[in-house]
Amino acid sequence: MATNYSGLCIGVTGLNANDNPGPGVAVIRALKAGFGSNIRVIGLSYESLEPGIYMRDLVDKTYQIPYPTAGTVALKERLAYIHDQENLNVIIPNFDAELHNFIKIAAELNNIGIKTFLPSLEQLRRRDKSNLFEFGQKNGLEVPADQKLYSVTDLQKAADELGFPLVIKGKFYDAHVAYNMESALKAFHQLETVWGYPVIAQQHIKGIEINVAALGDGEGNNVSIVPMRKLYITEKGKAWAGVTIEDEALMSLANKFAEATNWKGSYELEIIRDTDDKLFILEINPRFPAWIYLAVAAGQNQPAALVKMALGEIIAASVKYETGKMFIRHSWDEVVDIADFQKMSAFGEL
C-alpha cells in the first residue's frame, strides 16, 4: 500500500519486548498500521537480545546505539553514522533513561534532517518521579505523598512518616510494594544498585489501576487521549491485559497535565482510582506506553500522529475512540539463526 509517507525512514528505540516491555515494537506496529508497509523502520537497540531486532517483518534493520551513560557525543556520532547509511527522517525514543540525551541533541539532529517531537528538559524534569509530589501540589493534581531516599536512615524516616505498605521505586524503572522494613530494605538496595539515587518511597494507594496514553502538542493541548483499565497485572506491575474505558474525569486530568506543562510529545499517566473515586497520579512516563497499539486499535494512532507532528503537520485533536477494546499480551518464541545474533553482537548491526 503506497501512501504519501512511502519511503519515510523512522528510527525507533525500545525493542525489548520482554516481561518488562519497552514500547518500541508496539510503536512500530502502529506506524505500519498508520503509514502502510512501505516505510522503512530502523531499530535502535542497546543489547543484542532485544526481541524486536529479530522481528524482520516489523524492523528493516537494527543498529546498536551507546548506552545513555556514554553521553551525548557518543550518541550523536552513532546516529550520524546511522543517518549516513539510512537517511533517517524521524526518531522516536521510547525509554525514559535515554530521553535526556535525545532532547539535548534534538536541535543538532534537526540540523542534519532528523526530526523528533520531544518535551523540553524542563518539562521532563517537572514530571520526574522525584519531583512528582511537588508538581501535583502546585497544579492541583492528587499525587501520593513520597520521600526521596539516599540512605537507609531516609528509608526508616519514610517508613515512620508514610507507614506500610510502601511503594519503593527506582529512579527510572521498577517498583516494589514493601509490607515491612525487611522487604523495603531489600528493594531499596536493589533499586539503588540498578538505577542509582534517589530511590523513592511512595505512599501506597489501594484501588483500580488505570493508565492513560496521550499526545501533547507542546502548546497546552492534547491531540489524543486514550484511557485503559488494567485487567491483568504481572508481578512486575505491568499490564498484561487491559480494556479501553471512557471517563470524563480521566480526560480532564490529562488535559490539566498538558495545560500545566505545555507537554510536547507522547506521555502516559499511571493512575489509581481509590475507593472514594479519587484519581491519584502515581507516575508520568515521558513516552508511549508498551500497550500503545491498543490506542491504535481503538481508533487513535498516536505514534503516526507524532511522526506527522514531527514533520511539521498540524494535527487536529481527535476525541473519538472505541471503548471496550481489549488487548491481551502474550509471549512468542521468535526463532532466529545464531548467525544473526552473532552479527548483531559483533558488528552492532543487523
Partner 1 sequence: MKIKKNIATSENGFIFNPATGDSFSANAMASAILLAIKSGASAIEIKQDILQKYEVNAEQLDRDWEDWIIQLKEANLLEFESNNGN
* Distance between CA atoms of residues 301 and 35, nearest Å: 10
What's the closest the beta carbon of residue 188 comes to partner 1, in angstroms? 33
Whether the ω angle into residue 51 lies within 30 degrees of 0, i.e. cis, is no
246 touching partner 1, by CB under 8 A = yes
What's the closest the beta carbon of residue 244 comes to partner 1, in angstroms? 8
Q: Is 46 or 240 the residue whose CB approaches partner 1 more closely?
A: 240
Interior/surface letters 143-155, b for 16+ CB within 10 angstroms, e for the rest: bbebbbbeeeebb
Helices (H) and strands (E) in the chain, counts: 12, 14
* Distance between CA atoms of residues 110 and 132, nearest Å: 30
Distances from the Cα of 59 to the Cα of 80, 148, 350, angstroms: 20, 39, 10
245 touching partner 1, by CB under 8 A = yes
Options 16-24, 67-75, 157-165, 227-235: segment touching partner 1 (CB under 8 A): 227-235
231 touching partner 1, by CB under 8 A = yes
324 touching partner 1, by CB under 8 A = yes
Q: Is 58 or 225 the residue whose CB approaches partner 1 more closely?
A: 225
Distances from the Cα of 233 to the Cα of 24, 108, 210, 288, angstroms: 20, 40, 11, 18
Dmax of the chain from CA atoms?
A: 62
Options 131-139, 193-201, 240-248, 259-267: segment touching partner 1 (CB under 8 A): 240-248
Options 162-170, 180-188, 243-251, 305-313: segment touching partner 1 (CB under 8 A): 243-251
Are residues 54 and 25 in contact, defined by beta-carbon separation less than 8 angstroms? Answer: no
**From the list 105, 145, 243, 260, which residue makes contact with partner 1 (rule: CB under 8 A)?**
243
Tell me the backbone φ, ψ of residue 126, rounded to 5 degrees. -65, -35
Length of the chain: 350
Count of residues binding partner 1 (CB under 8 A)?
13
Q: 245, 317, 284: which is closest to 141 by C-alpha?
A: 284
Q: Is 181 or 231 the residue whose CB approaches partner 1 more closely?
A: 231
Q: Is 122 or 277 the residue whose CB approaches partner 1 more closely?
A: 277
Options 127-135, 152-160, 164-172, 245-253: segment touching partner 1 (CB under 8 A): 245-253
**From the list 151, 323, 342, 345, which residue makes contact with partner 1 (rule: CB under 8 A)?**
323
Angle ∠(161,167,172) on CA atoms, nearest 5: 120
What's the closest the beta carbon of residue 242 comes to partner 1, in angstroms? 8
Contacts of 271 (CB under 8 A, 6+ apart): 209, 210, 211, 212, 250, 253, 279, 280, 281, 282
* Distance between CA atoms of residues 25 and 31, nearest Å: 10
What's the closest the beta carbon of residue 202 comes to partner 1, in angstroms? 24
Angle between helices 132-139 and 248-261 (to 10 degrees): 100
208 touching partner 1, by CB under 8 A = yes
Q: 14, 207, 195: which is closest to 93 by C-alpha?
A: 14
229 touching partner 1, by CB under 8 A = yes
Q: Is 57 or 248 the residue whose CB approaches partner 1 more closely?
A: 248
What's the closest the beta carbon of residue 206 comes to partner 1, in angstroms? 16
Options 4-12, 170-178, 242-250, 280-288: segment touching partner 1 (CB under 8 A): 242-250
Q: Is 312 or 324 the residue whose CB approaches partner 1 more closely?
A: 324
Which positions from 155 through 184 interact with partner 1, judged by CB under 8 A? Answer: none
What's the closest the beta carbon of residue 327 comes to partner 1, in angstroms? 12
What's the closest the beta carbon of residue 275 comes to partner 1, in angstroms? 12
Which positions from 278 through 307 interact with partner 1, judged by CB under 8 A? Answer: none
Q: Which residues bind partner 1 (CB under 8 A)?
A: 208, 210, 228-229, 231, 242-247, 323-324
